[in-house]
Structure 1
Amino acid sequence: MIHLETALDIPFDLSLLEQAARAALDHQSADGDLTLVLADDEQLRRLNRDYLGVDAPTDVLSFPASETDPETGAPYLGDILLSVSRAAEQARAASHPLADEARLLVVHGVLHLLGHDHAEADEKAKMWKAQGEILDGLGVRGIKSRRDDMIVTIRRARQIIPKG
């Protein structure tokens, strides 16, 4: 199940994001529940600072989990938080619809939840290939991640923040 949380007024059909998440899971032959949280720049900036030590806004954060959803018994994959304002800025800059940018970020976030990363060239090539195939399947073409530094994962956070 894809859980969606937002208190923001979103100018497109939110089911597009659920479809994007489901398409990414299907492409990777994965099953499980996850939560998509649509937030603003300040919320993501705060989380970026608190969890990764980076005091700057970002477009998407993925927080993998390895739990079982008590409501469904399904594996709980984690949370994806998306900055709608950052996505809107990026969509305007790239001259494509906000819904397409948001779907890109959701697909990217789901791939991170499933263990993909782009820290190394070979990992990036695999992730970008999967991302492109998923977006093509959704009818979203000619759009791709442009800024590696804007996407962070808990795996990277664990490397940055000492355990203690």
Structure 2
Amino acid sequence: MALVLAWNDEQDVLPVDPKFADKLKELLRLAGKAEGIEDGEVALTFVDDESIHELNRTYRGIDRPTDVLSFAMLEKGEDEIAIIYGEEEEDEDEDVTSDSENTEDEEGFEEPLGDIVISVPRAAAQAEEYGHSVERELGFLFVHGFLHLVGYDHDNEEAEQQMFAKQEQILQQAGLTR
């Protein structure tokens, strides 16, 4: 088992070099290591401002584009139903195993951690504004999205400082400096 990155480039404003996928995989490995996460799949999609605007409006109720959105698969609130992969049968006399134990037995299957969607035009504009490369900004947004997938938030100053320090540390390790 391992951390797996599945990515798509669904925009044509500024095509992302497929070689950049190696850097994204490195970032995923470093971020996973920093968080003690060894297994799972992260789906990353690069989009344009129109697409991320629509997603932001639909899923967050915010009617404007943004730079990155994260949709965690492992969050379970009390109102959410469990997702069952494949057919599972319960025997009343047997102990029921958890979802993670069942999926580990499925060869080649990685538990989805979630989806990250990044607006490439917004990343390019922010890179120019901050004076660093587009690759560094895409890397920053990817790590930011990953940290959201695993439970980080920046809803107060202390949490924001912790999250941004962790992002910067991971980016430095990967050589994506300002």
Q: Same fold (TM over 0.5)?
A: yes
Letter of the aligned partner of 1:131 in structure 2?
Q
TM-score between both structures, scaled by the size of structure 2: 0.73
**Corresponding residue to 2:5 among 2, 6, 11:** 2
Unpaired segments of 5 or more residues in structure 1? 143-164
How does 1:9-28 map onto structure 2 within 5 Å?
A: 9-11=15-17, 13-15=19-21, 16-28=23-35
* SS of residue matched to 1:110: helix
Q: Note the alpha carbon deviations across 1:47-87, whole angstroms, 9 max, x for none.
A: 00001111101000000002667773322100000000100
Name the TM-score, length of structure 1 as normaliser: 0.79
- Counterpart for residue 58 of structure 2: 50
More helix by share: 1
CA distance in 2, matches of 1:93, 1:19: 25
Deviation at 1:6, TM superposition (A): 1.5
* Distance (whole Å) between structure 2 residues aligned to residue 88 and residue 141 of structure 1: 16
Contact 2:10/2:45 (CA < 8 Å) preserved in 1? no
Instruction: Summarize the alignment of residues 58-69 of structure 1 with structure 2, pairs less than 5 Å apart.
Output: 58-66=66-74
Give the secondary-structure state (helix, strand or coil) at the position aligned to 1:58.
coil
Matched letter for residue 24 of structure 1: A
Deviation at 1:107, TM superposition (A): 0.5
Matches of residues 1-164 of structure 1 in structure 2 within 5 Å? Answer: 1-8=4-11, 9-11=15-17, 13-15=19-21, 16-30=23-37, 31-66=39-74, 72-142=108-178
| Structure 1 stretches of at least 4 aligned residues deviating more than 4 Å after TM superposition | 67-71
CA distance in 2, matches of 1:81, 1:62: 6
Question: If you compute each CA radius of gyration, which structure gives the higher value, 1 or 2?
Answer: 2
What is the distance in 2 between the residues matched to 1:107 and 1:131?
6
Provide structure 2 residue ranges, at least 5 long, that are not aligned to the other structure.
75-82, 84-99
Question: Which structure dedicates a bigger proportion of its chain to strand?
Answer: 1
Deviations 1:100-150 (A, max 9, x none): 1000000000000010000012211221121111011011224xxxxxxxx
Where does residue 153 of structure 1 map in the other structure? Answer: none
For residues 47 and 27 of structure 1, the distance between their equivalents in structure 2, rounded to whole angstroms, comes to: 29
Computed over aligned residues only, the root mean square deviation of the Cα atoms, in angstroms, reads 1.9
Question: Partners in 1 of 2:41 and 2:149 — Cα distance?
Answer: 11
CA distance in 2, matches of 1:53, 1:76: 25
| Distance in 1 (alpha carbons) for counterparts of 2:5 and 2:144 | 15
* Shift in alpha-carbon separation, 1:48–1:10, aligned structure 2, 3 A: same
Distance apart, 1:95 and its partner CA: 1.7
Tell me if the contact between 1:12 and 1:99 (Cα under 8 Å) persists in the aligned partners.
no
63 and 96 in structure 1: CA distance in 2 versus 1, 3 angstrom threshold: same
Offset, 1:11: 4.7
